[in-house]
Amino acid sequence: MAVLVYPENWDGKFKKLSFELVSYASKVAEMLGVQAVAVSIGSVDEGELSKLATYGAGRIISIENGALKSLDDQAYTSLIAEVAKSVSASVVVLSNNNTGKALAPRLSVKLKAGIASGVSRLPVSTSQFIVYKKVYSGKAFANVEIKTPVKIITLAQNSFEVIESPKTVAIEKSGIQPDQNLLRTKVTDVQKQTGKILLTDADIVVSGGRGMRSADNWGPLVEMAELLGAGTACSRPVSDEGWRPHDEHTGQTGKIIAPNLYFAIGISGAIQHLAGISSSKYIVAINTDKDAPIFEAAQYGIVGDAAKILPRLVEKLREVKSK
Amino acid sequence: MKILVCISNVPDTTTKVKFIDDQKKLDVTGIQWVINPWDELALTRALELKDDASNGVQTVTVAHVGLVSAEPTIRKALAIGADDAIRVNTDPADAYGIAAQLAEVMKTEKYDIILCGIESSDHNGSTVGGMLAEFLDCPSVTCVSSLKIEGGQPVISREIDGGKESLTVPLPFVAVVQKGIAKEPRIAAMRGIMAARTKPIRVYEPQAIENFTEVLNYEMPKPRAACKYVDAENAGQLIDLLQNEARVF
């Protein structure tokens, strides 16, 4: 028996997200009294792979193959399923990110395993296997029982701390190779943004809404984000107007994020926007309307005009930085 | 080429959800039911592809697993422009149940492209599309933000962390689509609403499928502590609080 975890890599490197997943899986394994096994797919060197042991992976299995450079839902699923069977996994843990959303449902059918996605805590109980997850886009939570012998969990991003529990393990190179007949998607081009902090990775996010009034007023907001090492985001009307790019739209139908700190500037806090940001640890609201619903979600607030307040915040941050 | 769009029937996104029966059931009083927003975008894109005759899309069908009470939502999809609809007559216990029922129907009805929204706004599972693809043993592409047809073959763009990938995939396949797939959801015109009344809905009786998961009960989020206000004239104080009280940077 084991808990199998799939920490994804990005160009051969793991991220905080990968370590959160392994930390989570090793805690679940502890609850069950079994080992956490990590499976890595793609080209990752030994030094990088061994980092997974720092977060509690008791076994590390690496599947390397030139044909596995980009995600193929079907081929990756069959590889993970094969490893899951070979280690008799009773729980399989993936991230609730783009890759997890591609693989977890296919695995569910392949392994005849019930799935709970977007889980944000350790299981409530393991004898009767119950997990706690967000539903209705964060307007509520549910205790969900998974009834099958094999269970699949996708972990909500930024919902679990990394925990170091170092183990000494040898890295096992797996002989499992992808079935060429399953590698049917062909990536023809990759366009990557560079130099921009990814919203889903950012610890701090500075976000602007209609209260910013026009596309020309974003200067101080961007400067504040730079000073904080933060990502920039916006509400839906802003991306619909074309003031900011669509990939910055956070909210129910845009990106769903959970940073440590979220600045909602000139955002009234419509229920659809809150659905995308409500898992943030701290929310700061700046709005001219003292009755705006965003203040109900926020821990800190300033009632006033963003155009006047932002420069004051930037000035103060510069001062703090220079110390 | 035939396109299938799987649709979910969900509470309007502005709904304030409440639960009854010891927090075991959603209180449906006063809820407006709508097509799940991502599915609506998927349907819009399917219809856009059909509009351009050079793409060779003959029909756009919508499929839903649910009871007769969901028919107004299905009719809405027909009014927006779908040619016909499938309904599997059961109240599904979970996503696995939905995908399994749809896979059964696919044994008799064949489609070249199956579109599913990235998630439904009720259970936020992001699972039906991938499950259906695995049942059908066909490729799937997830987080699709653009879908075109060139020379009879799909050309796709999918979102990856910090960028996009372009890819091709043979038919048939499942595309799990997200924001960007269509600009604005298409709205039903009066002519469409009239036409929808007579468009066929094929009703299938369900297969017996065991449920893999069960929602035991719901909980409302814990209320956050009251907002602490900083005076606008003294906005810099906010930075002090974030640094020394919240300790977030």
Q: What is the CATH number of the domain that holds B162?
A: 3.40.50.620
pLDDT above 90 covers a percentage of chain B that reads 94
- The rounded distance, in Å, linking the Cα atoms of A201 and B15 is 29
Q: Give A278's contacts in chain B (Cβ within 8 Å).
A: 221
Taking an 8 Å cut-off on Cβ atoms, the answer to whether A282 and B246 are in contact is yes
Q: Quick one: how many helices (H) and strands (E) in chain A? A: 9, 15
What is the per-residue pLDDT for B118?
96
**In angstroms, rounded to a whole number, what is the distance separating the alpha carbons of residues A102 and B184?**
25
Strand partners, A89: A2
Chain A hits for B212, Cβ within 8 Å:
108, 112-115, 146-148
Residue B107, pLDDT above cutoff 80: yes
Task: Classify domain A2-182 by CATH architecture.
Answer: 3-Layer(aba) Sandwich (3.40)
Residue B117 included in any domain: yes
Number of domains chain B is built from: 1
Chain A residues 107-166 within an 8 A CB cutoff of chain B:
108-110, 112-118, 130, 132-148, 154
- The pLDDT assigned to A252 comes to 87
**pLDDT for res A193:** 79
Q: Which of A115, A190, A312 sits opposite B236 (nearest CB)?
A: A312
Q: Is the pLDDT of residue B213 over 90?
A: yes
Reported residue count of chain B is 249
CA B7/CA B80 separation, integer angstroms: 13
Q: Nearest CB to A261: which of B128, B164, B242?
A: B242
Q: Are B71 and B51 in contact (CB under 8 A)?
A: no
Cα gap B128→B246, rounded to integer Å: 40
Measured between CB atoms, which of A106, A113, A135 is closest to B140?
A106
Contact A267, B248 (CB under 8 A): no
Per-domain residue ranges for chain A? 2-182, 204-322
pLDDT of residue B2: 98
Q: What is the pLDDT of residue B225?
A: 82
Of A56, A3, A59, which is closest to residue A29 (Cα–Cα)?
Answer: A3
Q: Could B17 and A140 be called an inter-chain contact, meaning their C-beta atoms sit closer than 8 Å?
A: yes
Options 2.102.10.10, 3.40.50.2300, 3.40.50.1220, 1.10.3720.10; CATH for A204-322 is 3.40.50.1220
SS3 B73: helix
Q: What is the mean pLDDT of chain B?
A: 96
Residue B91 to residue B71: CA distance in whole angstroms? 13
- Whose tokens are 């991003």? That residue is A157
pLDDT of residue A213: 96
Contact flag B235-A101 (C-beta cutoff 8 Å): no
Assess whether the region A2-182 and the region A204-322 belong to the same CATH fold: yes
A302 in Cβ contact with B230 (< 8 Å):
yes
The interface predicted TM-score (ipTM) is: 0.95
B91 in a domain, yes or no?
yes
Nearest CA in chain A to B219: A141
Residue B25 in any domain: the answer is yes
CB contact under 8 A, B165 and A190: yes
User: Per residue in B118-168, pLDDT tens?
Assistant: 999 999 999 999 999 999 999 999 999 999 999 999 999 999 988 899 999
DSSP-derived secondary structure for A6-59? ----BTTB--HHHHHHHHHHHHHHHHHTSEEEEEEES---HHHHHHHHHTT-SE
The tens place of each residue's pLDDT in chain A, 323 residues long, gives 999 999 999 999 999 999 999 999 999 999 999 999 999 999 999 999 999 999 999 999 999 988 898 999 999 999 999 999 999 999 999 999 999 999 999 999 999 999 999 999 999 999 999 999 999 988 999 999 999 999 999 999 888 999 999 998 999 999 899 998 999 999 999 998 777 788 988 999 999 999 999 999 999 999 999 999 999 999 999 999 999 998 899 998 889 999 999 999 999 999 999 999 998 999 999 999 999 999 999 999 999 999 999 999 999 999 998 88
- Structural domain boundaries enclosing B92: 2-218
**Interchain CB contact of B168 with A (< 8 Å):** yes
| Interhelix angle B128-136/A73-86, nearest 10 degrees | 80
Q: Looking at the complex, report in whole angstroms how far the Cα of residue A168 sits from the nearest Cα belonging to chain B.
A: 31
Q: Cβ separation of B227 and A285 shorter than 8 Å?
A: yes
- State which residue of chain A sits closest to B16, comparing Cα positions: A139
